[in-house]
Chain A
Amino acid sequence: MELQGQHVIPLPRPQVWAALNDADVLRACIPGCQALTKTAEDRFTATVASKIGPVSAVFTGEVQLLDIVPGLSYTISGSGKGGVAGFAKGRSQVVLADGPEGTVLSYTATAEIGGKLASVGSRLLQGVARRTADDFFTALVNQLAPAPQAVPSAAQPAPEPGASRPAEPAAAPAAYHPAPSAPAPARSSALPWILAAAGWLIAAFLAGHLTR
């Protein structure tokens, strides 16, 4: 399965990059994430619980970050074992760019699922993966810039509805907030987390879509 998407995050690029490399942020944003642990400079282990139709599964797996261009792009490669439910593998390339309304995050992802997951859930994979990705980015934005109000672009501190680009209706929920003072530890070594997140997103999507 291949998936691609674009999200506008109303924050400056360095801040987004840092957040995507923050294990705490990622742990909070990946649905069902029970644990996310750094095992090497570019590697992480993660545990994500999910219920897939009649099958409950806890995915445990590794995420690796590749081709890191700090502040700009990387590739996340991850795989997780879900016991009797099967397995999930994913790879996602994430690219950040400056846009008029904040940081434009583009990703392309490929995911492969195996075992029961594949035989029971393949039909639903695409839809759920997209939805899970959207949920992740929504959670990410909320995590970085929690605000009760919908907010426009990063360049406009004033809260304003309609932050999402019309072309990407799913990309930017109304809760986006510019958050000029968002906490953004600039740990460039945290880049891998982004990748981990993407990998885990994929796993989570899989899990998520299977519950549909």
Chain B
Amino acid sequence: MNDRTSPALSAVDRPNSYIGRSVPRPNARRLVQGRGQYTDDIAAPARTLYAAFLRSPYAHAQITRIDVAAAKSAAGVALVVTGAELATVCEPWVGVLTHFKGLRSATQYALAVDRVVWQGEPIVGVVAESRALAEDALALIEIDYAELPAVTDPDAALLPDTPVIHAELGSNLAFALNLESGDAEAAFRDAHAVVSGDFRFGRHAPVTLESRSILADFDPSTRRLTVHQSTQTPYQMQDIFARHLRLPQADVRVVAQDVGGSFGMKLHVYGDEMATAAMSVMLGRPVKFVADRLEAFQSDIHARDHRVRARMAVAADGEITGMIVDDITGVGAFSAYPRTSAVEGNQAIRLMGGPYKLRNYQGRLRVVFQNKGLMSQYRAVGHPIACGVTEALVDQAAAAVGLDPLEIRRRNLLTDDVYPYTSPTGYIFERLSHHQCLEKLERLMDYAGLRANQAEARQRGVMRGIGFAAFIEITNPGPAFYGVGGAHITAQDGCVLTLEPSGNLRCAVSVTEQGQGTEAIMAQIAASAVGVPIEHVRVITGDTEATPYGGATWASRGAGIGGETVLITGKALRANLLRLAGVMLQAPAEALDIKDGLIVDAATGQERLSLPELARIAYYRPDTLPQGVQAELSAAHNHVPRGQPFAFTNGIQASHVEVDVETGFVRLLNHWVVEDCGRIINPLLVDEQVRGGVVQGIGAALFEECLYSEQGQLLNGTLADYLVPMAGDMPDIHVEHVSTPTLHSELGAKGAGEAGAAGAAAAVLNAINDALQPLGARLLQIPATPERILRALGKLDAPGRPTSGEE
């Protein structure tokens, strides 16, 4: 529209565009040199105090007595607060949203009142001159508990004789959903073969490098609260601090500077963080809390604790004709606030079978409470569950009808002629590229060569396997995601773009940076839209006082929604600047262009005026402009996707593994991803996102699982006991792309943050099962630990013990 030089090209396609280029992230050097400003790095204001929390050692218990007298008089202690006392300052919450019909949860207090419902739940907060003194005071607190039976197993949670965790709810059922499309029963009746599985997915901890951190500073003279917090969503948290601490929203400022990983974990409300802010209000002093690693394991949200019984019907020619899925998931003691714990299960059963043509589908979801830490949204919410179940069944179906795993996918993936397509579960796909991705993957991995290698290796007794996982990914959620259910969570983003007196651009945007390169992406878009060198753009994020209100960063929305907002704003500023330049140069704005920070003649490209000169005149010598001319040096715009509920992406992954059938260990040989996130703004950053997600998926596939005792005790709350994928364990991850831009935005970008995590675990498990297949073994549980693999092979009977005859 503003690009008069080449009408066929949009702002993002211009020859000097940064879109599509692997621009390095501007913050990389700073972070690598240790100059990051994470919440714990921020110089503590004068008189800062430090919080520590006494946490429940029981998964479920009545608190019969609390004695904090000794703690109150301990050295350096400024405040000791119990749950009941804190509740007078901080309103409790209930993690439900109205668009999840029937979703229930109980009132949750920042600090437990009368009863504890998970091990690690905070009970008493102590604020002292140092964290050490606060912890010393914690040791002086006496609490008597009457232990109650713990509910841990999701299946058992709904049995009639199982204790009900929240008596007022009548049962441990938080949410149930039944989906039905087509005639699944008939599909199974008429099937050539039916395959099935009882799948288990291990509870997964986020393990961010930077743990949850908060520095809350309430100034009693102005009654303003300033919170530095390691969060993805400063605006959501501004609203929450305001409402729950009964402060005007305008008097709360939330600042999220550098954030060391979040993966969805840092957008939920946590009792210890709310209590820290509340205690700052109570004291009128700054209070800081940084979760230690054990606190992170015990109280960060977890994800992926699902058990899924599923069946798939297949015709003789390999056509998948139906799927029936029953998913039960335990989400801990409460539905998380404010986004609920229904989303993961909801997405899991709606994404089942998603890449394929099948129309006959029955999905049943039950979300249950249990005496464990909370589960909620974490990277690729629900996707690994749906993908894991679907792709494992597809492999079984291929075997049942004698087809190659890649061939059965080729026969069933949605074809290019069906779009726009509405899935059996109601998702709308604008345009996907399953078949292009599959063909690209087949070439990329040299599939025929790998199969030959596999056959040759088997001759030597070496068991290698190849596993595939086609996936779809939900990105760029529109307004129907949270706000519609009553949450004060916005789906729009805002951008304010300003030409500064120096001639540089200042881009304040509501999407936030957690290490994924948001700043680079936004700078590329702003620079391209206006026409300046990227070095002349400074991006500002993560401060409710300095950046416009917006959804921030989650659900792979930053580039697609935030980026589009910056593009729209950049085009508006560009129009302003060209209009002004036209006045100064006495030329029609249409005859001018902005390139590399210069106003040029559109036709010839000849320089007419530099942006610094334009800015100098506009800011310091407006007297030289004609009467009535006002220089508009800023543009501000908001944007929310309105065309479709989500921008779906798609792709396919493949894993090549070698399984040592004597030890059960899996060696990852190679991993491939071909994905389609629409227009790629920065290939380097997209590939980083995909690889990071793949590594997280491999963690789920092989290593990561929160282990609990039957009494609800978390048994592996250290990084010595909870295994995470290490660089040395990782295979090469080859990433290629197909690009099908969404037509609902000018930028055309879809999300890329969760594609890797969506399908990696499914591909690895399929590869393991492909390796084990000649031995008649099959594993339907992740992580696929050596012990589980040996048990699948019949080499172990009871946990950890060799079967008789084995040594």
- Which residues of A are interface residues toward B (Cβ below 8 A)? 56, 83-84, 86-87, 112-120, 122-123
Contact = CB atoms under 8 A, between A and B. Distances in A.
Nearest to B707: A122
Nearest to B712: A114
Contacts of B716: 119, 122-123
A89 to B, nearest CB: 9
Given A87-B57, A114-B57, A123 B721 contact: yes
A112 B54 CA distance: 20
B135 interface: yes
7 contacts: A112-B709, A115-B55, A115-B119, A118-B57, A119-B716, A122-B713, A123-B716
B509 to A, nearest CB: 40
B711 A116 contact: no
Given A84-B138, A86-B57, A118 B718 contact: no
A84 B56 contact: no
Contact of A116 (B57, B709, B720, B721): B57
B297 interface: yes
A86 B55 CA distance: 9
Contacts of B141: 83-84
A118 B709 contact: yes
Interface string B717-759: 1101100000000000000000000000000000000000000
B298 interface: yes
Contacts of A119: 119-120, 294, 297-298, 713-718
Given A84-B135, A84-B139, A118 B715 contact: yes
Interface string B131-148: 000010011010000000
A83 B298 CA distance: 17
A144 B721 CA distance: 40
A120 B717 contact: yes
A120 B718 contact: yes
A122 B722 CA distance: 12
A118 B58 CA distance: 10
Contacts of B119: 114-115, 118-119
A123 B717 CA distance: 10
B659 to A, nearest CB: 25
A114 B713 CA distance: 6
A77 B146 CA distance: 17
Contacts of B720: 123
B679 to A, nearest CB: 45
A161 B248 CA distance: 81
Contact of A118 (B54, B138, B139, B714): B714
Given A84-B139, A120-B718, 10 more contacts: A83-B139, A83-B141, A114-B59, A118-B57, A118-B714, A119-B294, A119-B714, A119-B717, A119-B718, A123-B721
Contacts of A116: 57, 294, 717
Contacts of B709: 112, 118, 122
Contacts of B58: 87, 114-115
Contacts of A83: 138-139, 141
Contact of B715 (A56, A86, A87, A122): A122
A206 B54 CA distance: 20
A118 B717 CA distance: 8
Interface string B292-306: 001001100000000
A120 B294 contact: yes
Closest 6 CB pairs of A and B: A115-B57, A119-B717, A118-B713, A86-B57, A122-B715, A114-B57
Contacts of B718: 119-120
Contacts of B711: 112, 114
B533 to A, nearest CB: 51
A114 B720 CA distance: 18
A113 B294 contact: no
A112 B59 CA distance: 13
A112 to B, nearest CB: 6
A56 B136 CA distance: 10
B57 A122 contact: no
A123 B800 CA distance: 14
A56 B135 CA distance: 11
Contacts of A112: 709, 711, 713
Contacts of A113: 713
